[in-house]
Amino acid sequence: MKIGMLTSGGDCQALNAAMRGVVKTLANNVDDLTIYGFSNGYQGLIYGKYRILTKADFSGILTVGGTILGSSRTPFKQIREPGEDGVDKVHAMKSNYEKLGLDCLVILGGNGTQKTANLLREEGLNVIHLPKTIDNDIYGTDVTFGFYSAIDIACHSIDCIHTTAASHNRVFIVEVMGHKVGWLTLYAGVGSGADIILIPEIPYDIDKVIAGIKKRQESGKNFTILAVAEGAISKEDAKLSKKELKKKIAKSPYPSVSYKIAHEIEEACGVEARVTVPGHMQRGGAPDAYDRILCTRLGAAAGQAIIDKDYGNMIGMVNGETKRIPLEKCAGKLKSVDPKGKMVREIKALGISFGD
């Protein structure tokens, strides 16, 4: 059996753990297994850059962050456009797959990666997708790997900010990753006791945010911590078209939404407001125990799907069980936080503000 493997898009914790799960399962159940590890995501498949890996390469990597294959972004939007060198990317990927005589390609990645995986399926390749991203925004699976490890890091950042915020009577904003969705900010904010949580799914009203801070000041709390998603958006901006918003952001003097909010808070509340951006740390380091277990299970289930020759699926986790989800049903869909969902209602009941 010949299996190709690649990791594409922004990395995260537990990519290695997931690949280990696939390879160990196959090695344990299949004779004559060859693994082709493509370098740096789809780029390796396009340009035929790979190395042959053995079971030993996947040993000892359960706890290792990053990816032993390397990763890069190959935007789905440009997948049908020839590269600067004129290469037809889809044709090149198909041709390398066929030249090597692969039985299946295991693709680990987020939303964009998944769309390309689905395109390759439509082009006749056997693919299995594993849902990776700290953003937890992949439709069809309850959880993506990287998410819980990133929550720990974001939580730890906010924990550290707590003590210094209290010492200095300051307002602190911790800007959390998550791209267009607020899962990571919501979970990190709740896990670290943030006072105000701003996520893209619930556009904020700056006056409500300020009122929340003033209310805390009046009750004798000398500091406030906001967990703000990098994609957080004001009610006013949420009304703009994509084009208008892009134009507005391009003209903004602030590096990100958090700095704008900090400025508005300083003006209105007469306190110092500071911004902390943990950034890519949230994707780094070792996977937590949850992700190690999740990836071992997803990897084993992916291995089994390959053994069963049941291709064209994402292997997700649904209600605590691994599940094969057809790519045509999930590719191109985004999983967002439900602003009226139970979790948001529970958190609001505690008195935590979403600025709405």
- Residue 24 found at the interface with ligand F6P (CB under 6 A): no
Q: With respect to ligand F6P, which residue has the nearer C-beta, 11 or 57?
A: 11
Q: With respect to ligand F6P, which residue has the nearer C-beta, 294 or 301?
A: 294
Q: With respect to ligand F6P, which residue has the nearer C-beta, 48 or 284?
A: 284
Among 4, 6, 8, 10, binds ligand F6P (CB under 6 A): 10
Among 24, 129, 132, 179, binds ligand F6P (CB under 6 A): 179
- Residue 283 found at the interface with ligand F6P (CB under 6 A): yes
45 within 8 A of 38, measured Cβ to Cβ: yes
Structure tokens at 17: 């753990």
Q: How far apart are CA 36 and CA 30, in angstroms?
A: 16
- Residue 178 found at the interface with ligand F6P (CB under 6 A): yes
Among 40, 96, 113, 133, binds ligand F6P (CB under 6 A): 133
Query: For ligand F6P, which stretch binds (CB under 6 A), given 36-44, 175-183, 216-224, 317-325?
Result: 175-183
For residue 283, the minimal CB distance to ligand F6P (Å) is: 5
- Residue 135 found at the interface with ligand F6P (CB under 6 A): yes
Query: For ligand F6P, which stretch binds (CB under 6 A), given 132-140, 197-205, 296-304, 340-348?
Result: 132-140
Question: Of 13, 107, 135, which Cα lies nearest the Cα of 64?
Answer: 13
Question: Of 285, 261, 264, 251, which Cα lies nearest the Cα of 148?
Answer: 285
- Residue 134 found at the interface with ligand F6P (CB under 6 A): yes
Q: How far apart are CA 51 and CA 36, in angstroms?
A: 6
Structure tokens at 21: 């799960």
For residue 58, the minimal CB distance to ligand F6P (Å) is: 24
- Residue 177 found at the interface with ligand F6P (CB under 6 A): yes
For residue 163, the minimal CB distance to ligand F6P (Å) is: 26
Q: With respect to ligand F6P, which residue has the nearer C-beta, 78 or 167?
A: 78
Query: For ligand F6P, which stretch binds (CB under 6 A), given 77-85, 131-139, 195-203, 342-350?
Result: 131-139
Instruction: Provide Rg for the chain, Cα atoms.
Output: 22
Question: Which residues, in sequence order, are bridge partners of residue 334?
Answer: 138
The interface with ligand F6P within residues 223-262 (CB under 6 A) comprises 230
- Residue 303 found at the interface with ligand F6P (CB under 6 A): no
- Residue 335 found at the interface with ligand F6P (CB under 6 A): no
Question: Which residues, in sequence order, are bridge partners of residue 52?
Answer: 36
Query: For ligand F6P, which stretch binds (CB under 6 A), given 36-44, 127-135, 187-195, 304-312?
Result: 127-135
Question: Of 275, 277, 273, which Cα lies nearest the Cα of 171?
Answer: 273
**Dihedral-angle region of residue 178 (phi above 0 means left; psi in -120 to 50 means alpha; beta otherwise):** left
DSSP state of 77: G
Give the residue carrying structure tokens 């209310």: 215
Q: How far apart are CA 49 and CA 44, in angstroms?
A: 4
For residue 280, the minimal CB distance to ligand F6P (Å) is: 6
Q: How many residues bind to ligand F6P according to rule CB under 6 A?
A: 10
Residues ≥6 apart with Cβ < 8 Å to 156: 192
Question: Of 353, 341, 104, which Cα lies nearest the Cα of 228?
Answer: 353
Q: How far apart are CA 92 and CA 324, in angstroms?
A: 28
Q: With respect to ligand F6P, which residue has the nearer C-beta, 154 or 265?
A: 154
Question: Which residues, in sequence order, are bridge partners of residue 104?
Answer: 3
Q: With respect to ligand F6P, which residue has the nearer C-beta, 96 or 136?
A: 136
- The runs of H, that is alpha helices, within the chain are 15-29, 42-46, 89-100, 111-122, 147-168, 183-192, 206-218, 235-238, 242-251, 257-269, 289-307, 327-330, 342-349
Query: For ligand F6P, which stretch binds (CB under 6 A), given 116-124, 173-181, 207-215, 239-247?
Result: 173-181
Active site residues per annotation: 135
Q: With respect to ligand F6P, which residue has the nearer C-beta, 135 or 152?
A: 135
Contact positions vs ligand F6P (CB under 6 A): 10, 110, 133-135, 177-179, 230, 283
